[in-house]
Amino acid sequence: MTGAELLGLFGHFLLLSLLAVGGAITTAPDMHRYMVTEQHWLTDAQFTSSIAIAQAAPGPNLLFVAVLGWNAAGPVGAFATTAGILLPSTVLSLWATRWGSQRRETRFVRSFTNGLTPLTLGLLLATGWILAEPYVRVPQYRWGALGLIAITVLVMLRTKASPMWLVALGALAGVLGIV
């Protein structure tokens, strides 16, 4: 792949980053159009396999972008696609954080951050329920799951213990067949 093609790859993923509302996976059809149909850097099978391998591997959901770049142009391609997809969102996040911290005493920023607190708590509770519900519904795991939930809530409210200890406790409970 030439330098101009790598720059085009980087630029394309840079633009896709700004359209990736809902995550980078939502832009996969355009990635396919660009990398398979237009540029012929990958075949349909390579494109699909790249996404499948990346989604099966542990790590961030965004990993497939690096795998696509790697399969198209090796390490330099992986860097071009990953940097392209991450750079705009990172710069935007840093800018918004600085802007907000410089104006943290304004009514707008205080209202915005105060409004995010119940929203964040609600989303955390909803996520917790979605993850716990399958275990609470099964009679053999119900009491173990409810016990783990109660222990987690108590420990998090009453101590400054690391949540990783609670994750380890949950793993142990799973190994022992409690949940």
Q: How many percent of the chain have pLDDT more than 70?
A: 99
* Confidence at residue 131, expressed as pLDDT on a 0 to 100 scale: 75
Asked whether the predicted pLDDT for residue 26 surpasses 90, the reply is: no
Three-state SS across 35-99?
HHHHCCCCCHHHHHHHHHHHHHCCCCCCHHHHHHHHHHHHHHHHHHHHHHHHHHHHHHHHHHHHH
- Distance, in Å, from the CA atom of 60 to the CA atom of 139, rounded to the nearest integer, reads 33
* Residue 106: pLDDT over 80: yes
Q: How confident is the model over 119-137, as pLDDT tens digits?
A: 888 878 887 887 788 888 8
What is the pTM assigned to this prediction?
Answer: 0.62
CA distance 88 to 64: 18
Please say whether the beta carbons of 166 and 145 come within 8 A. Answer: no
